[in-house]
Amino acid sequence: QVQLKESGGGTVQPGGSLSLSCTAFPRTFRSDAMGWFRQSPGKEREFVAAFSWTDGKEYYIESVKGRFTISRDNSRNTLNLRMNSLKPEDTAVYYCGAASHPVQFPQIVEVPPYDYWGQGTQITVSS
């Protein structure tokens, strides 16, 4: 059984930065796509950013472009999210997802293609 473990998160003031990391276990797991989603109370889970090893491309929701950056390693089981210039509207629980089959745009920005999910980590942006 594949498990995703997230680390990072916390509370930061507006304009601050945080980093999240997601690693899949067992370490022999090779994903075809990994992504970050977020969910606020009363709202549906929302796509934030992802990388597809199928097409080698990064994808971001418009509201985080220029502020958030994803990075990964060649093992295809780790995805990091660097978040700069954080805003109060970025406050949410952030979830990491991984797909074990090829995923490309536009499916990569949707929840269903991801087979595995982390437990979620809270990001709070507040003064």
Q: What are 65-118's pLDDT values in tens digits?
A: 999 999 998 889 999 999 999 999 999 999 999 999 999 899 999 999 999 999
User: How large is the average pLDDT for residues 43-66?
Assistant: 96
Nearest in space to 96 (alpha carbons), one of 57, 123, 124, 75:
123
Cβ contact 112:66 at 8 Å: no
d(CA 95, CA 93): 7
Looking at residue 73, what is its pLDDT?
84
Nearest in space to 92 (alpha carbons), one of 126, 115, 66, 117:
126
